[in-house]
Amino acid sequence: MALTPGAAIVGAAIGVVVEQSLRNRSVINFFNWSESMKIKQAKLLAAAVATLGALLAMPAHAGKTLDGIKARGQVVCGVNTGLAGFAAADSAGKWSGLDVDVCRAVAAAVLSDPEKVKYVPLNAQQRFTALQSGEVDILPRNTTFTLTRDASLGLSITVPNYYDGQGFMVTVKSKIKSAKQLKGQTVCVQSGTTTEKNLTDYSKANGLNIKPVVFEKLEAAENAYFTGRCVAYTTDASGLASTRNKVAKNPADHVILTDLISKEPLGPMVRRGDDDWFAIVKWVMYGLLEAEEYGVTQANVEKMKSSTDPVVQRLLGGGNEDTGKLLGLDKEWLARAIKATGNYGESFERNVGPKSPLGLPRGVNNLWNKGGLMYAYPIR
Ligand SMILES: N[C@@H](CCC(=O)N[C@@H](CS)C(=O)NCC(=O)O)C(=O)O
């Protein structure tokens, strides 16, 4: 049944309203039936309408996104315009990064090929419209999960792939050591971000009278800071590390303050209303975390297929249980994703970890059993 989510909600609502009306004595008295008949018929009618409501409320176009992906042979992935470590293209046009790995892993799971991804670079303002309109299938673009974004954009938040917080970068020369020392100062910030809102909140809450200098484009905000237009530049701490490393003439001239003024759980979003696609993205993310937890790596995934550990068997499609079937995929969906990007820890180390150019510590992005927040729901 092809129904928009709006129609489904109306259907369910009609069921509830009619059931409640029929429970109301004044409505029943109006028909002047005998008391028992009234109740029996009211119950029957209520049940019928409630069932119709529930039927109407069933997901519209289950699997429509996946059908489209299969038909075109590509996952269309909305990414950053260029944030080294998360999503950036090299001179040959090859994309890499922690967010890019989400696209690659999903493409490996659903199309058996991590290369079958079309990358659409999106700035902060463009990103949600691109997903809402269907221009992209998935949006892994250093995007913070918030209530407003979850509840008002017609989009769904999936699973964080990087827990971050908002920070500030200043010049070493400024001798500023903490965010509170930014009282009355200019701070460069990009519009259409949580960053812009957090900055205003933080300034207000602490009586700092910070003067935001707002730019629509990332390069403009970065350039303004590096040319001395602002005393500080603010964004997610990971973004600051990326900008300092890639854009600063001399990274050692800039310091990222240790103060974080917000929580920024970053992760991919999908369009609301396609539960099957939502589930696939979610479980690919969980699967890569579970692979790390159980020691399945890019290098050993083939060998691990003959593991006798039931958990590993389930991850790699070795035992009798077929998790792929439940997602509309085949048995090896996750084995392919792991082979494409490595498990979550491997992707983290390669793209943003201590030995990468960004040099970010694993910190809260470690697994739950190693003191971090990364906790996969069980693949079973
Ligand atoms: N996590 C924040 C900020 C994300 C964001 O867009 N950050 C900027 C600064 S690092 C960015 O990536 N800009 C790239 C662009 O717009 O092209 C959010 O979701 O609003």
What pLDDT shows up at residue 219?
95
Is residue 327 scored above 60 in pLDDT?
A: yes
Query: What's the mean pLDDT when you consider all of the chain?
Result: 88
> Would you say residue 380 lies in a domain?
no
Is residue 38 scored above 90 in pLDDT?
A: no
> Would you say residue 376 lies in a domain?
no
> Would you say residue 206 lies in a domain?
yes
What pLDDT shows up at residue 319?
84
Report residue 61's pLDDT band, with 50, 70 and 90 as the boundaries.
Answer: very low
Domain limit, last residue, from 262, 293, 311: 262
Helix (H, G, I), strand (E, B) or coil at 369: helix
Report residue 77's pLDDT band, with 50, 70 and 90 as the boundaries.
Answer: very high
Does residue 52 or residue 232 have the better pLDDT? Answer: 232
Domain count, the chain: 3
Among 86, 123, 145, 193, the mutation site with the greatest number of ligand 1 atoms within 8 A of its Cβ is: 193
Whether residue 27 is found in the same domain as residue 152: no
Judge whether 278 and 158 are in contact, CB under 8 Å: yes
What pLDDT shows up at residue 5?
42
Report residue 41's pLDDT band, with 50, 70 and 90 as the boundaries.
Answer: low
What does the pLDDT look like over 130-158, one tens digit per residue? 999 999 999 999 999 999 999 999 999 99
> What is the 193 CA–ligand 1 centroid distance (Å)?
6
Whether residue 136 is found in the same domain as residue 282: yes
Measured from the Cα of 125, ligand 1's closest atom is: 16
For the chain, give the percent of residues with pLDDT over 70.
84
Whether residue 44 is found in the same domain as residue 77: no
Among 79, 83, 86, 126, the mutation site with the greatest number of ligand 1 atoms within 8 A of its Cβ is: 83
What pLDDT shows up at residue 296?
98
Among 142, 162, 266, the mutation site with the greatest number of ligand 1 atoms within 8 A of its Cβ is: 142
Whether residue 41 is found in the same domain as residue 80: no
Helix (H, G, I), strand (E, B) or coil at 177: coil
User: What backbone phi and psi angles, to 5 degrees, belong to 97?
Assistant: 140, 170
Neighbours of 248 (CB within 10 A): 16
Whether residue 148 is found in the same domain as residue 278: yes
> What is the 97 CA–ligand 1 centroid distance (Å)?
15
> What is the 183 CA–ligand 1 centroid distance (Å)?
24
Domain limit, last residue, from 232, 262, 292: 262
What does the pLDDT look like over 190-224, one tens digit per residue? 999 999 999 999 999 999 999 999 999 999 999 99
For the chain, give the percent of residues with pLDDT over 90.
82
Please state the pTM of the whole predicted model: 0.85
Instruction: Give the residues surrounding ligand 1 with Cβ less than 6 Å away.
Output: 80-81, 83, 123-124, 142-144, 190, 193-195, 218, 235-236, 239, 264, 266
Is residue 47 scored above 70 in pLDDT?
A: no
Whether residue 170 is found in the same domain as residue 159: no
Mean pLDDT of 368-374: 98
Whether residue 257 is found in the same domain as residue 274: no
> What is the 359 CA–ligand 1 centroid distance (Å)?
19
Report residue 284's pLDDT band, with 50, 70 and 90 as the boundaries.
Answer: very high
Mean pLDDT of 24-52: 44
Whether residue 281 is found in the same domain as residue 340: yes
Distance CA 151, CA 44 (A): 35
Residue 17 tokens read as 């309203």
> Would you say residue 108 lies in a domain?
yes
Taking CA atoms only, the protein residue closest to ligand 1 atom 6 is 124
Is residue 7 scored above 60 in pLDDT?
A: no
Whether residue 204 is found in the same domain as residue 151: no
Among 147, 161, 218, 225, the mutation site with the greatest number of ligand 1 atoms within 8 A of its Cβ is: 218
> Would you say residue 40 lies in a domain?
yes
Is residue 26 scored above 80 in pLDDT?
A: no
> What is the 63 CA–ligand 1 centroid distance (Å)?
30
Q: Give me the domain span that covers residue 91.
A: 64-163+266-370
What pLDDT shows up at residue 59?
38
Taking CA atoms only, the protein residue closest to ligand 1 atom 13 is 218
> What is the 217 CA–ligand 1 centroid distance (Å)?
9
What does the pLDDT look like over 219-260, one tens digit per residue? 999 999 999 999 999 999 999 999 999 999 999 999 999 999
Helix (H, G, I), strand (E, B) or coil at 92: coil
Domain limit, last residue, from 215, 236, 262: 262
> Would you say residue 147 lies in a domain?
yes
Judge whether 112 and 70 are in contact, CB under 8 Å: no
Cross-strand pairs, 79: 121
Q: What CATH number corresponds to the domain at position 177?
A: 3.40.190.10
> Would you say residue 378 lies in a domain?
no
Cross-strand pairs, 342: none
> Would you say residue 375 lies in a domain?
no
Whether residue 210 is found in the same domain as residue 357: no
Whether residue 106 is found in the same domain as residue 147: yes
What pLDDT shows up at residue 320?
87
Whether residue 283 is found in the same domain as residue 157: yes
